[in-house]
Amino acid sequence: MNNAQLQAIESIIKSQSEGEILTLPASVYQSDWFDVIDKTAVLHKSWQLVAHLSQLQHQGDYVVHEVADQPVIVVNTGDEIKAFHNVCRHRAGPLAFENGNAKTLMCKYHGWNYHLDGRLKSAPEMHTTQGFNVCDHRLPEIKTAQWQGLIFVSFDEVIPSINEVMSGIAENIQPIDLSQMKFYRRDEFILDCNWKVYVENYLEGYHLPHVHPGLSRLLDYKSYQTELSQWHSYQYSPLDQSDSFYGQGQAHYYFVYPNTMLNILPNRLQTNQVLPLINNQTKVIFDYYYPNIADIEQLIAQDQSFSDEVQDEDIMICEAVQKGLNSGSYDRGIICQKREKGLQHFQQLIRRAYASVLDKT
Ligand code: FES
Ligand SMILES: [Fe+2]
C-alpha cells in the first residue's frame, strides 16, 4: 500500500471521529483501489448468500454462484450441503457453468471428475504422469452456514456466526418461516454505479416519496421505521391494507451487512444480493421465493411487476447519483439522522472494515 492510499484510508476513518453525520467521501465510490479493499476486507470477510435449501433438495443437486471474484459451487452430497471453490485442481477450469444435478462433478475443461464430497475420482490419461495420484487431489472446501433455509458461505474462518449476524430476525418475522419458501425465479440487473451506492439507496426510506410514488401508496411513510442491530438493520412499515395485494401483515426489509437484503412480505421472500463487478459496475441479483399454497399465481404476477417498477426507479436514481459522485463537484454530505440511520450504520461498519486494513499494514 502506498502513502496516498494510507492517507486516504486514514482520512476516511478520521471522518468518523469528526462526527458520523458526514457521509463517506466520493473517492470510496470511484477508485479501483477501493474495489480491491471492498472485496478483500468487506465481502470476503462476511457471510455471502449463495442458495436456498429448496434448490438443493436431492443428492447431486448443485448451485453455482460467484461472489467478488470467487466462483463457488454448492452441492448436496447426499449427507450434507457442502460448498467448494468452482475451480478444478488441474488448470483452474469450472466444474459447472450453471445449476444442475449430477452423480459426480466433471470439470468442463479436460474432464477431471470429482466425487460430490470434493475428492478427485478420476482424471483421463493422467496414469502415465509421474508423481500423479488421484488420492492427492480434492476441491478446496468453503465454510458454509444455514439460517432459515438460506445457505451462506464465508471465505474467512474468523467471522461472527450466522446466528449472531441474524440475531432476532427469525423471532421478529414469526409466524413466517423462510425455510418453508420455495425458490421461484432469479432476475439479474447490471448497474453503472458502485455497489455501495445501491446498498445505501436501499438503506433509507427518505427517497420514497420522490423516487417511488407507487410504493409510497402501498406503505405508510409516516410510520416507516428503521432499527439497528450489530450486523443488520431493519426497516418496516405497515402495509396499507386497502391497497395491498400481499394481504394482511407487515413489510419487513432487512439489510444484512455487507450486501444482502431480505425483503419479506406476507407469502413472499425476495432476496437481493449486491455484487461489485469491474469498472465500477454492480450486479444486483433478485431471487423470488413463495410458499407452496393455493392461488399464489396471481400474487406472484402482481409482486413481480410491482418489484420491476420499483427496481427501475432505483436503478435510475443510483446511476444518476454515481454521475454526481464522479462529477468532482461533491465530496461528502450530511446524513439525515431521522431518515438515514441505516445508511449511517452501514458506513460505520465500512469504516471499521477499512480500519482493519490499516491495522495490518
Ligand atoms: S482444468 Fe479441469 S480438467 Fe483441466
Ligand atoms: Fe428505492
Looking at the CA of residue 88, tell me the nearest atom of ligand 1: 2
Pair 135, 182 in one domain? no
Looking at the CA of residue 93, tell me the nearest atom of ligand 1: 1
Q: What is the pLDDT, as a whole number, of residue 295?
A: 76
- Cell numbers that stand for 309 in this block: 417498477
What is the residue range of 294's domain?
A: 168-330
Pair 286, 203 in one domain? yes
Pair 195, 111 in one domain? no
Query: How far is ligand 1, taken at its centre, from the CA of residue 132, in Å?
Result: 14
Residue nearest to atom 3 of ligand 1 (CA): 110
User: Has residue 231 been placed in a domain?
Assistant: yes
Pair 211, 260 in one domain? yes
Return d(Cα 234, Cα 304) in angstroms, integer.
22
Nearest to 249 by CA among 327, 175, 337: 175
User: Has residue 316 been placed in a domain?
Assistant: yes
User: β-strand 61-67 against 100-101: which pairing, if any?
Assistant: antiparallel
Nearest to 141 by CA among 199, 57, 182, 82: 82
The phi-psi region of residue 288 (left if phi > 0; otherwise alpha if psi is between -120 and 50; otherwise beta) is: beta
Q: What is the pLDDT, as a whole number, of residue 240?
A: 62
Largest CA distance in the chain: 74
User: Has residue 95 been placed in a domain?
Assistant: yes
Query: How far is ligand 1, taken at its centre, from the CA of residue 119, in Å?
Result: 14
Contacts 24+ apart (CB under 8 A), 123-132: 123/90
User: Has residue 280 been placed in a domain?
Assistant: yes
86 near 70, Cβ under 8 Å? no
Pocket probe mutation, ligand 1, options 112, 122, 139, max atoms within 8 Å of Cβ: 112
222 near 240, Cβ under 8 Å? no
Pocket probe mutation, ligand 1, options 95, 105, 110, 129, max atoms within 8 Å of Cβ: 110
Torsion of CA 317, 276, 173, 338, to 10 degrees: -50
Residue type, 46: S
Nearest to 258 by CA among 223, 287, 282: 282
User: Has residue 8 been placed in a domain?
Assistant: no
Ligand nearest the Cα of residue 313 is 2
Pair 173, 59 in one domain? no
Residue nearest to atom 4 of ligand 1 (CA): 110
Query: How far is ligand 2, taken at its centre, from the CA of residue 4, in Å?
Result: 35
Query: How far is ligand 1, taken at its centre, from the CA of residue 352, in Å?
Result: 40
Q: What is the pLDDT, as a whole number, of residue 248?
A: 65
Query: How far is ligand 2, taken at its centre, from the CA of residue 207, in Å?
Result: 7
Ligand nearest the Cα of residue 111 is 1
Looking at the CA of residue 107, tell me the nearest atom of ligand 1: 2
3-state SS assignment for residue 277: coil
pTM for the predicted model, two decimal places: 0.93
Q: What is the pLDDT, as a whole number, of residue 16?
A: 60
Return d(Cα 264, Cα 236) in angstroms, integer.
10
DSSP letter string over 307-356? HHHHHHHHHHHHHHHHHHHHTSS----B--TTT-HHHHHHHHHHHHHHHH
User: Has residue 281 been placed in a domain?
Assistant: yes
Query: How far is ligand 1, taken at its centre, from the CA of residue 134, in Å?
Result: 13
User: Block means of pLDDT (10 residues each) for the chain, length 361 residues?
Assistant: 74 66 92 87 96 97 95 98 98 98 98 98 96 97 98 95 97 93 95 98 95 83 90 85 62 95 92 94 96 82 86 97 97 94 96 86 61
Q: What is the pLDDT, as a whole number, of residue 32?
A: 78
Query: How far is ligand 2, taken at its centre, from the CA of residue 198, in Å?
Result: 9
User: β-strand 113-114 against 105-106: which pairing, if any?
Assistant: antiparallel
Last-in-domain residue among 123, 154, 185 = 154
User: Has residue 12 been placed in a domain?
Assistant: no
Ligand nearest the Cα of residue 314 is 2
118 near 138, Cβ under 8 Å? yes
With a Cβ cut-off of 6 Å, ligand 1 is lined by 88, 90-93, 107, 109-112
Pair 194, 140 in one domain? no
CA angle 310, 174, 179 (to 5 degrees): 75
Looking at the CA of residue 110, tell me the nearest atom of ligand 1: 3
Pair 175, 318 in one domain? yes
Q: What is the pLDDT, as a whole number, of residue 107?
A: 98
Nearest to 276 by CA among 33, 8, 2: 33
Ligand nearest the Cα of residue 126 is 1
Pair 65, 176 in one domain? no
